[in-house]
Amino acid sequence: MTLALSDEEIDLRLLLEAIFLKYQYDFRDYALSSIKRRMAQALAKLGGETITSLQDRVVHDSEFFQKLLTFLTVPVTEMFRDPEFFLAVRREVLPSLQTYPSIKLWVAGCSTGEEVYSYAILLQEADLLDSSLIYATDIQPESLTHAKAGVYAREALLKYEVSYREAGGQKDFLKTYFTCNDDQAIVLAELKKNILFSDHSLATDSVFAEVQFASCRNVLIYFNRSLQDRALGLFYESLSHRGYLALGNKESLNFSNYADRIETINRTQRIFRKLP
């Protein structure tokens, strides 16, 4: 299809091309509307007249690029976001994972780690964490560092505690899983020990392990259709026989090439399963 691109869109595409050539971060197949809005915010905050002026600085100043990267990969996450989803994982997925001697999970686009630790808590409460390995991947180095550290604002944790309860949690959330001081909470080491945080791009890297459960929530909405299909291809290849896939609440396989290879097992909570 021919697209009538505006000058601004042409500038944006050239900048994304430059970023890819220089740093191998590939945003070229991201949904244009989101990347455009994020770039506009970056322009406003980092200073700069036009997208073209960013291109010059990005190519010649790698520190500047790191700053820009934080705008392009805004972390949006929380623990037990959409509690009904985590309740469904607890009830509908974990009993089946239990039958494996060891369980591997992949949380793609793990951002600052909140969701990974939510899964770790679910596994712990099903007595499965010791036999599990969670691969948590993202492209943003700062987010991965934050995720590994597992340090969160205590105030945020109070909100997450409500979601934890709605997701079927019955323990004293803060005391059981965190060491707290006045304003911060640190995830306990026992929750972290079976999590492997690493740099991985759904746009440029390939499959690295066989997993029984892959989770990629609210990431595909930022991709265009072809990149979405690339990412789904990685999950499909990575999933073991009848493995599970979890997507965000408004994501589906309807506009993908995988609708006939992956079945929907919980439509409302967007839980899917690889067909034999």
Applying CB under 8 A, the residues found at the interface with another protein are: 1, 3-6, 9, 31-34, 36-38, 74, 76, 218, 220-222, 224-225, 228, 248-252, 254-256
| Residue that is written with structure tokens 């600052």 in the block | 112
Residue 274's nearest CA partner among 93, 131, 145 is 93
Task: Compare residues 160 and 222 and give the one whose CB is closer to another protein.
Answer: 222
Contact by Cβ (8 Å): 35, 27 = yes
| Residues 208 and 81: beta-carbon distance below 8 Å | no
Query: Of the two residues 6 and 99, which places its CB atom closer to another protein in the complex?
Result: 6
CB of 259 to another protein, least distance (A): 12
What is the smallest separation between the CB atom of 10 and another protein, expressed in angstroms? 11
> Cα–Cα distance between 62 and 24 in angstroms, integer?
12
**Kind and range of the H or E element at 110?**
none
The amino acid at residue 162 is V
Q: In what order do the strands lie in the sheet with 195-199?
A: 195-199, 132-138, 103-108, 211-216, 239-247, 271-274, 262-266
CB of 255 to another protein, least distance (A): 4
Q: Which is nearer to another protein, 118 or 212 (CB)?
A: 118
Task: Considering the complex, state which of residue 22 and residue 165 has its C-beta at the smaller distance from another protein.
Answer: 165
Q: How far apart are CB 246 and another protein at their closest, in Å?
A: 16
Rounded to whole angstroms, the Cα distance separating 217 from 55 reads 30
- In the bound state with another protein, the residue whose beta carbon lies nearer, of 26 and 229, is 229
Q: Is the dihedral of CA 45, 48, 49, 52 positive or negative?
A: negative
Shortest reach from residue 233's CB to another protein, in Å: 16
Nearer to another protein, 129 or 147 (CB): 147
Please, what sign has the CA dihedral across residues 216, 218, 219, 224?
positive
Q: Work out the angle at residue 198's Cα, subtended by the Cα atoms of residues 196 and 199, and round it to the nearest 5 degrees.
A: 170
Place of tokens 């036999």: 131
In the complex, the smallest distance separating the C-beta of residue 257 from another protein, rounded to whole angstroms, is 12
Give bridge partners of residue 216 from the DSSP assignment.
247
Residue with Cβ nearer another protein (99 or 254)? 254
CA angle 169, 170, 171 (to 5 degrees): 105
Least Å distance between CB 33 and another protein? 4
